[in-house]
C-alpha cells in the first residue's frame, strides 16, 4: 500500500467523524514521522502502517485526536496530553496571553495557576516571563503526571504542587501572591448531560463543578483574596453563561476593576479583577 492509498482508506474509515479528513492526515504524519508529501515519494514502513491504522481505529471509536497524537500545541509549545488530562483549548490561550501581558505590565513575580491540568497556562507564563516564580496546582494524579512531564520538558523552574485548590490557600502567607490564574472545572451537573460525546473521553473531574458550576469561582475568590497582595490580580476562565454571576461575586467580595472580557469568538469567557490597594 502506498501513501495515497493509506490516506484514502483512513479517510473512508473516518468519513463519519467531524473533520475526519484532516485527522487522517495528522495521524498519518504522527505515525510515519514525516509529512504526507514526503511519504508520497517513499515506500511505507509496514510497522508504521500498522500503527497508523491502529490510530485511525481509535479515532473512529471516538477517542479525541489529541490523545491519540499524544501532544497538542498551546501558545507555540507542544504539551503532552492523554487520557486523564484536559486538552488545552484555544480560548485558554487567550486567558494565558492576558495573564502574560498583565504580569508584564505589573511586574508580577509570584504567580499561581490553580487547577492546572497540563500546566498550559502556568507553563506559558513562565516561558514568556523567565523572572516569574510560577506554581501550578493540580489535584488528580493522572493529570499531575502530565503536568510534571510538561514542566520538565518546557519550563523546569515551575513548581508542580499536588493539592486541592479549594484548600491550598491554607498553606500560603497573606499577600504572598501577585497573580492568580485559573481555568477551573465549571460545568454544572445539569449541563454535563448535554455535552458533546467527544467530551465524554475527558475527565469529569476536569469539567464538572458543584454549586451550579460556581464552586471553584466562589471558593477561590473568597479564600485567596487575602493571599493576593494589595493590587494583585485574579484572572478566571469562565463558562460563557457565567459572566454576570462571577462579576457580581467578585464585586461583592470587594475586588476592584472587575471586567468581563470577550474571547475572539465574541463570547464572554474571561473575568479579571484586582485586589484593592
Give residues in contact with ligand SAM (CB under 6 A): 86, 88, 92, 115-118, 120-121, 137-140, 143, 164-166, 183-185, 205-206
Which of 225, 221, 227, 219 lies closest to 247, judged by CA? 221
Give the whole-angstrom CA distance, residue 101 versus residue 125: 9
Among all residues, whose Cβ is closest to ligand SAM? 117
- Give the shortest CB-47-to-ligand SAM separation in angstroms: 33
- The smaller minimum CB distance to ligand SAM, of residues 26 and 140, is found at 140
- The smaller minimum CB distance to ligand SAM, of residues 115 and 126, is found at 115
Question: 16 and 6 in contact (C-beta within 8 Å)?
Answer: no
- The smaller minimum CB distance to ligand SAM, of residues 106 and 205, is found at 205
Counting beta carbons within 10 angstroms of the beta carbon of residue 45, is it exposed (0 to 12), middle (13 to 18) or buried (19 or more)?
middle
| CA 99, chain centre distance (Å) | 14
Give the whole-angstrom CA distance, residue 105 versus residue 128: 13
- Give the shortest CB-72-to-ligand SAM separation in angstroms: 10
Give the whole-angstrom CA distance, residue 123 versus residue 132: 10
Give the whole-angstrom CA distance, residue 245 versus residue 218: 10
- The smaller minimum CB distance to ligand SAM, of residues 14 and 137, is found at 137
- Give the shortest CB-117-to-ligand SAM separation in angstroms: 3
- The smaller minimum CB distance to ligand SAM, of residues 164 and 251, is found at 164
- Give the shortest CB-176-to-ligand SAM separation in angstroms: 19
Radius of gyration of the chain (CA): 21
**159-162: strand order across its sheet:** 159-162, 133-138, 110-114, 177-182, 228-237, 268-274, 256-262
- The smaller minimum CB distance to ligand SAM, of residues 39 and 235, is found at 235
- Give the shortest CB-57-to-ligand SAM separation in angstroms: 27
CA 240, 246, 247, 248 dihedral sign is: positive
- The smaller minimum CB distance to ligand SAM, of residues 10 and 121, is found at 121
Give the whole-angstrom CA distance, residue 226 versus residue 141: 28
- Give the shortest CB-157-to-ligand SAM separation in angstroms: 18
- Give the shortest CB-166-to-ligand SAM separation in angstroms: 5
Amino acid at each position: 500500500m502506498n501513501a495515497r492509498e493509506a490516506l484514502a482508506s483512513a479517510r473512508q474509515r473516518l468519513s463519519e467523524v467531524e473533520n475526519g479528513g484532516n485527522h487522517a492526515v495528522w495521524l498519518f504524519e504522527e505515525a510515519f514521522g514525516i509529512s504526507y508529501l514526503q511519504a508520497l515519494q517513499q515506500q511505507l514502513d509496514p510497522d508504521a502502517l500498522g500503527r497508523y491504522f491502529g490510530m485511525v481505529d481509535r479515532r473512529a471509536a471516538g477517542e479525541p485526536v489529541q490523545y491519540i497524537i499524544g501532544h497538542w500545541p498551546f501558545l507555540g509549545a507542544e504539551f503532552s496530553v492523554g487520557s486523564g488530562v484536559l486538552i488545552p483549548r484555544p480560548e485558554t490561550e487567550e486567558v494565558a496571553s492576558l495573564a502574560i501581558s498583565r504580569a508584564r505590565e505589573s511586574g508580577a513575580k509570584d504567580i499561581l495557576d490553580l487547577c492546572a491540568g497540563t500546566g498550559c497556562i502556568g507553563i506559558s507564563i513562565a516561558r514568556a516571563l523567565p523572572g516569574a516564580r510560577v506554581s501550578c496546582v493540580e489535584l488528580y494524579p493522572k493529570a499531575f503526571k502530565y503536568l510534571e512531564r510538561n514542566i520538565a520538558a518546557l519550563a523546569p523552574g515551575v513548581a508542580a504542587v499536588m493539592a486541592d485548590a479549594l484548600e491550598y490557600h491554607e498553606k500560603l502567607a497573606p499577600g504572598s501572591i501577585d497573580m492568580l490564574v485559573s481555568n477551573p472545572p465549571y460545568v454544572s451537573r445539569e449541563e454535563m448531560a448535554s455535552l458533546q460525546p467527544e467530551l465524554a473521553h475527558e475527565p469529569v473531574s476536569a469539567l464538572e463543578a458543584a454549586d451550579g458550576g460556581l464552586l471553584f469561582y466562589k471558593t477561590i475568590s473568597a479564600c485567596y483574596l487575602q493571599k493576593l497582595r494589595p493590587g494583585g490580580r485574579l484572572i478566571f476562565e469562565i463558562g460563557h453563561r457565567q459572566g454576570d454571576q462571577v462579576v457580581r461575586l467578585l464585586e461583592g467580595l470587594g475586588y476592584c476593576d472587575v471586567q468581563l472580557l470577550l474571547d475572539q469568538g465574541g463570547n464572554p469567557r474571561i473575568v479579571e479583577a484586582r485586589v484593592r490597594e
